[in-house]
A and B are shown apart, each in its own frame.
Chain A
Amino acid sequence: QKEVEQNSGPLSVPEGAIASLNCTYSDRVSQSFFWYRQYSGKSPELIMSIYSNGDKEDGRFTAQLNKASQYVSLLIRDSQPSDSATYLCAVNSENQGGKLIFGQGTELSVKP
């Protein structure tokens, strides 16, 4: 079992729709969760961090964390073509020495 799993996609949504990106992790003691966006040919850009169960909203982005289910998700409301990118889920825990464990990423395509 991979430590951090994401559906590779591609996930295709129409412009204006809600895009839902999911991530599961295997280490129960994981403490911190991050979503990065990576455009083709570019480096990852941090868009959200979440540490506690529940929802965290930032503009059109909402991160959701459920530690009991070992599940974290990212919702993008009112999706725009400029949101088309690969979204990487990353997990961090003290027993890993603080290093980030990344999923393989989900490719999102927003169609005009």
Chain B
Amino acid sequence: KAGVTQTPRYLIKTRGQQVTLSCSPISGHRSVSWYQQTPGQGLQFLFEYFSETQRNKGNFPGRFSGRQFSNSRSEMNVSTLELGDSALYLCASSLAVGAGAEAFFGQGTRLTVV
């Protein structure tokens, strides 16, 4: 069974540009969450989607947005990139939603903003 797939694996962008990251969850999983990981802040929750609906959102500026498609694949978009957006962006999929759901992470997309 394939795991969570994130594309691309690496990205280098210039300040002010925008970027779109993609995540394909484990087959049968309908919940997708996104996290940002940096050395200073650790893993920070961005948002969670289930059945194409955003269920929860973290404390990030509106430049960060996401969506989920009917096949459960998800994308996140960051507009007007800043140097501080350089991070590892991780997608996690879960079979269910709610407090007990186990989340499985993809390999991540490493974004570097120059």
In this assembly, does B16 line the interface, its C-beta being within 8 Å of a C-beta of chain A? no
* Residues of B contacting A51 in the complex (Cβ-Cβ under 8 angstroms): 100
Say yes or no: B42 contacts A32, CB within 8 Å.
no
In this assembly, does A43 line the interface, its C-beta being within 8 Å of a C-beta of chain B? yes
Say yes or no: A101 contacts B45, CB within 8 Å.
yes
In this assembly, does B63 line the interface, its C-beta being within 8 Å of a C-beta of chain A? no
Which secondary structure dominates chain B's binding surface? strand
Q: Knowing A97-B48, A100-B33 are in contact, say whether A46-B102 is a contact too (CB < 8 A).
A: yes
Query: How does the 8 Å CB contact mask read for B24-52 relative to A, with 1 for contact and 0 for none?
Result: 00000000010100000011110010000
* Residues of B contacting A94 in the complex (Cβ-Cβ under 8 angstroms): 98-99
Say yes or no: B33 contacts A99, CB within 8 Å.
yes
* Residues of A contacting B101 in the complex (Cβ-Cβ under 8 angstroms): 32, 92, 98
* B88 to A, closest residue via Cβ: A43
A23 to chain B, nearest CB (A): 13
